[in-house]
Structure 1
């Protein structure tokens, strides 16, 4: 019989590099120490640890409020631990959270929410929390935290896209906690590595360009001075801007008539009029008119992120 639960999947970003640099024995000890700590913290917050998955843990909560409070507190406490962690074992935490009916079988759990939480954890960047929209229904966020709309995301095995939010928890945390102080490193090593491996690929007709996050912000527009030129009368001179913010590629519409965003895998088209959204995976942006207009200039995008 199924039960309604909030499912949390938390895993360590950068563990592969730690195994390569330290070897199996030392890396396993470092990962086990952290995942054991995570399990204890989630249990203290009201969660039930279902199982350990290599460099991650799968946890269920009966109460959505307790789940959100727990993941925010864990990220904040873990950030403090990271401030004193040597670069060799520095592994930021990323968390995916989903709500739905799950099946409990032999001390394990299965179901849509389990799949979604695992997939969201894979898609997040270092230090991030992504949650499905159902998690936030009728729930008050923990103090100092806020939710930012990311849009629909396609989850493998589902026909319908999942609407996702990022829970931003860092407001009550000193930014110095994200900095490694050492002779060689005076910045967030893994977050920097993550940003360097993210690429943004844009295509329109014969125009094709790939950008690194270090090249952002870039502008999409009709004028020749734009970083990505779409020479169509529907398009404003400076139509949209791409920024790298909090580990995400953010599209901001700055046009006269708006932009429409469509993500691969389904979901409703998202209209932006002087608004912004996070781009993820693959999709398309119609500039100045809807996708239903056959004359619409449509830019394809592909966000290449490390797994």
Structure 2
């Protein structure tokens, strides 16, 4: 029988590094304890653990609100705990949430929502929660602050899916107090006034209240980079707490390199991750900046604005 449920996939990232640092026996014990804790939090919020998946948990909830409460508690508590752990042992959580009809057969669960939640967990970056439109719609009075990531291609689906990232940080999220329909967050104390983008002879300027904007290959992106390695919506630039944040949304990744007084820094590779843009430097879309053929955007943050322009790298 089909039952309308909310599905949660919560996965630990970086477990391979932990096994290398701790050895198989200790690492297995650590991962097992963490997945048991994840399952316990889900159960405390009325969820049912369908199965453990090595370094992850698949859980089922009767409604979206309790599922969201569980995953936000998971991220908040785990993030505080990670701050006390040595860097090589830190395993962040990435979580996917989807709602819809689920079929239960001999203790296992099947359905589009199951597949979607699993895919979103894979796509979400470390420390992130991604949720479907259906989940957000069901939250109603218990809506949480979220950011619309737009339409994203999900492997195995013929149509693109609308996806949201949950802002679970305690200073940003509060149950029962936020409206269901959210407007872009305006930050009056922002140090940024506008973002100017240039590609060849095309220049665009966006005020901070118009953010976020997207870099990508299709016309839906506000800044178009026409290269086959660039995803349709490759990356997003948004204003957050007065800082300009670049988030990778792509298939092949984004690379950032900063230029300071001491010369260029090492490249920062982003795979469904984010970083703050500061000073000046370069952004590579779809290929490392060490690849001279990479579509590369030079950026410069100056005073009250951030400027980006197309830059040809010739070696």
Query: Are residue 281 (structure 1) and residue 244 (structure 2) matched?
Result: no
Q: Give the secondary-structure state (helix, strand or coil) at the position aligned to 1:171.
A: coil
Call closer, same or farther: CA 1:303–1:57 in 2, change over 3 Å.
farther
2:11 aligned with 1:7: no
Which residue of the partner structure matches residue 251 of structure 1?
214
- 1:250 Cα deviation after fit: 5.9
2:86 paired with 1:86: yes
Q: CA RMSD in A?
A: 3.8
| TM-score normalised according to structure 2 size | 0.59
Which residue of structure 2 aligns with residue 106 of structure 1? 106
Deviates more, 1:81-90 or 1:67-76: 81-90
1:171 correspondence with 2:140: no
Q: Does the C-alpha gap of structure 1 residues 39 and 282 become closer, same or farther in structure 2, counting only changes over 3 Å?
A: closer
Contact 1:250/1:279 (CA < 8 Å) preserved in 2? no
Contact persistence 1:251–1:278 (CA under 8 A)? no
Change (3 A) 1:3 1:155: same
Which of the numbers 200, 213, 218 marks the counterpart of 1:230? 200
Please tell me whether the aligned partners of residues 148 and 167 of structure 1 are also in contact (alpha carbons under 8 angstroms): yes
Query: Does the CA-based 8 Å contact 2:215-2:223 persist in structure 1?
Result: no
Q: Aligned pair count? A: 216
Quick one: distance in 1 between partners of 2:87 and 2:223? 42
Q: Higher relative contact order by CA 8 Å / sep ≥ 6: 1 or 2?
A: 1
Residue matched to 1:179: none
Query: Aligned runs of 1:202-221 on 2, under 5 Å?
Result: 220-221=197-198
* Distance in 1 (alpha carbons) for counterparts of 2:140 and 2:287: 31
8 Å contact 1:240–1:251 — kept in the other structure? Answer: no
Separation in 1, partners of 2:246, 2:99: 23
Q: Aligned partners of 1:278 and 1:98: how far apart in 2?
A: 22
Distance of 1:82 and 1:160 partners within structure 2: 37
What is the CA–CA distance in structure 2 between the aligned matches of 1:98 and 1:261, rounded to whole Å? 30
What's the offset of the Cα at 1:152? Answer: 1.0
Q: Contact 1:251/1:279 (CA < 8 Å) preserved in 2?
A: no
In the TM superposition, structure 1's runs of 4+ consecutive aligned residues that sit over 6 Å from their partners are 274-278
Give 1:12 shift: 0.6
Classify the secondary structure of the residue corresponding to 1:137.
helix
> Secondary structure in 2 aligned to 1:172?
coil
